[in-house]
A and B are shown apart, each in its own frame.
Chain A
Amino acid sequence: MAFVFKRLALYLIALVVSLILNFLLPRMMPGDPVGTMFARFRGRLSPEAMDALQQSLGFTGESLLDQFWSYLSALSSGDLGLSVAHFPTPVTEVISAGLWWTLWLAGISVLISFTLGTALGIFIAWRRGGVLDQTLPPLFALLGAFPYFWLAMLLLWVFGFQLGWFPLRHAYGDDLEPGWTWLFISDMFRHAALPALSIVLATLGGWMLSMRNTMISVLGEDYITLAQAKGLSSRQVMLRYAARNAILPNLTGFGMAIGFVVSGSLLTEIVFSYPGQGYLLVQAVRAQDYPLMQGLFLTITLSVLFANWLLDILYAVLDPRTRRST
């Protein structure tokens, strides 16, 4: 478990760094973002309310350290300030509407992509030199080379607009009441299908290739030869010996991929009007809504860090060595 806690320490540092980034960016950047930000509140907020808001965001005349402190204390009480573009709604409320959808979309895509990619990787490594091994890697490299959003646009156009097989937008049908009903859940999947497919297509190749290469390395190990010499079935050797060992390094990449896929899904969400964080972030940027922008960055980072930590726990469970090392 020491491993898990060691990683936890890393995530805490990462959190602090992103807090510092969040804090310093508006204060260090050229121009006067802070001035602009408050200029946009002018006329909407009474002077006292403005002071209070400045206080809570840490924009005061004090030293940087003191400002940072008041920024942190406001944060710890869940106060991310008020959104400029959606004034007077607090940033936390604006964000909470879409966070789950982003996590759901990114989560399901990364899961499918990882499972499918790893399975294919195992398979083509096992039958390396075969037709699939010759064709799949270049094919997926080509698919992966297209920008996420470009594939998304294409899928939307072909399967959504022209063929009408899939809905064009949103995370569930507008005429449905969200709830744990079969109808709603199936609709949720239907709406996630195209966006997820575009992410899966773009990322599958990476998983497949890295799994294939690790598998090939593992297949060269003595214990595999031994296992085969002992006459275990190929299938058993492939899955229980080679794949099980090869999957661990691939799993470590999983954590990093979450950040990557969340990034990519932001773009995909925009194409599919998926009600997640992606479009909120872009709209916040376009509207110069700095509090919202920073709040979004913070929540996205936090959720990626948390997902990473969960993975570490899983990793520790799967890999005996991390449990042993203290």
Chain B
Amino acid sequence: MNRTSWLLDIWYNPKARCGFLILGGLASLAIFGPLFVSDPSLSVARPHLSPSWTHLLGTTGQGQDVWAQTVVGAGLTLTIGFTVGLLVTVIGAIIGVISGYLGGLTDELITALVNVFLVIPGLPLAIILAAYLPTGPLSMVAILTVTGWAWTARVVRAQTMTLRGKDFVRSASLIGEPLWRIILVELLPHMASLLLSTFIGTTIYAIGAQVGLEFLGLGDMGSVTWGTNLYWAANDQALLTRAWWTYVPTGVGIALVGFSLALINFGLDEVTNPRLSVDRIWRSRLHQLGVTPTSLTAKVELRSSTATSNSAAEIANKRGVRDE
């Protein structure tokens, strides 16, 4: 099977494509938008003006332009979100692969640590860390990485354990390839879709957690991000003053990012999960034939011999996979 064929398939998956388009739009807004808007922290007009042509989304309680704040806020928020997503995926993948491939005592220890981090509630830990660390984007990345790596490590470990028994990995280790080569060349590429899926999941988590922490006033309040926007909106009592425009755009922005990422994950799931995809193909065939599919008709099951029996995204969706 072509290892990367799913990458193309994702693009042809309508859900995923929709997700990519939304995300792309938001990302380009975050990258190029700041060139076209005024300084978001500058007070340009009277506080709490409702949306108008001069201020598309009105002004905040401090007289700042909400549109400018939303656009500029996207930049730092998404940067931190994707950085954390990447970092967590890399760290989680390395730990997970090492743990799963080496097995034995190392595995036992790492697994114990991973499980411990999984059961310790994340947000309280993040709040405490944020209280001790100096504020700033670096601290934020550090906090979110520390509280988020364990899940990826666990998923990657589970996948590594399956791959470990496969012929191509066995033979690589028999001909004496060094560990790093086995990990980088043999193992990791085979779980690319899994990594992508956890990357997406982690990014959603990172953006949510970051916004949450900043909403509590635990980030750098001097910077403009989506979290600080909501913090200030709450601080200026947007609800009470009925200034819905100060918190709705940011909330929608966050939701759109999360939604687009979720759509991509749906698509990835449909493409890489043989059961879901076979089911879907079967269904559309039936549809062409004019048969309405029901629970009884769709019992066709291809036991795929090439793909691993469970898809990446499916694993990622099952949050608490137990290993016995």
Contacts and interface: CB of A to CB of B under 8 A. Distances in A.
> Do chains A and B interact in one complex?
yes
Interface of A: 3, 10-11, 13-14, 17-18, 21, 25-26, 29-31, 33, 126-129, 137-138, 141-142, 144-150, 153-154, 156-157, 161, 206, 209-210, 213-214, 216-217, 219-220, 224-225, 228, 234, 237-238, 249-250, 252-257, 259-260, 262-264, 266-267, 270, 281-282, 285-286, 288, 293-294, 296-297, 300-301, 304-305, 308, 322, 325
Contact of B131 (A146, A210, A285, A325): A285
Consensus secondary structure, chain A interface: helix
B314 A144 contact: no
B293 A129 contact: yes
Nearest to A217: B275
Contacts of B317: 209-210, 213
B179 interface: no
B293 A252 contact: no
A300 B263 contact: no
Contacts of B115: 10, 13-14
A249 B124 contact: no
Interface in B2-17: 15
Given A141-B259, A210-B317, A325-B324, A10 B132 contact: no
Interface stretch (B57-65, B82-90, B159-167, B295-303): B295-303
Contact of A301 (B124, B301, B324): B124
Contacts of A253: 318-320
A218 to B, nearest CB: 10
A138 B15 CA distance: 9
Contact of A128 (B247, B258, B298): B298
A26 B279 CA distance: 54
Contact of B121 (A147, A220, A293, A300): A300
Nearest to B296: A228
Contacts of B21: none
Nearest to A277: B124
A150 B208 CA distance: 11
Contact of A254 (B130, B269, B320): B320
Interface stretch (B42-50, B93-101, B189-197, B212-220): B212-220
Interface in B276-324: 276, 279-280, 283, 293-296, 298-299, 301, 310, 314, 317-322, 324
Closest A-B pairs by Cβ, 9 of them: A145-B258, A263-B123, A252-B320, A253-B319, A259-B121, A29-B132, A141-B262, A253-B320, A14-B116
Given A234-B296, A263-B122, A149 B239 contact: no
Interface of B: 15, 112-113, 115-116, 118-125, 127-134, 204, 208, 211-212, 215-218, 230, 234, 239, 247, 251, 254-259, 261-263, 266, 269, 273, 275-276, 279-280, 283, 293-296, 298-299, 301, 310, 314, 317-322, 324
Contact of A145 (B204, B279, B295, B314): B204
Nearest to A16: B116
A288 B130 CA distance: 12
Contacts, number: 196
A285 B218 CA distance: 9
Contacts of A21: 125
B116 A286 contact: no
Nearest to B303: A220
17 contacts: A10-B115, A29-B132, A31-B134, A138-B15, A141-B259, A145-B261, A150-B254, A156-B239, A219-B298, A219-B299, A252-B321, A252-B322, A253-B319, A263-B124, A282-B127, A293-B131, A301-B124
Contacts of A297: 124-125, 128
B119 A14 contact: yes
Given A216-B275, A256-B319, A263-B121, 10 more contacts: A10-B116, A21-B125, A31-B134, A126-B295, A137-B266, A213-B269, A219-B298, A253-B318, A259-B118, A304-B121
Contact of A147 (B124, B215, B266, B276): B215
A293 B128 CA distance: 7
A282 B320 CA distance: 29
Contacts of A137: 266
Contacts of A305: 119
A285 B113 CA distance: 27
A128 B251 contact: no
Contacts of B113: 17
Given A145-B254, A147-B211, A257 B121 contact: no
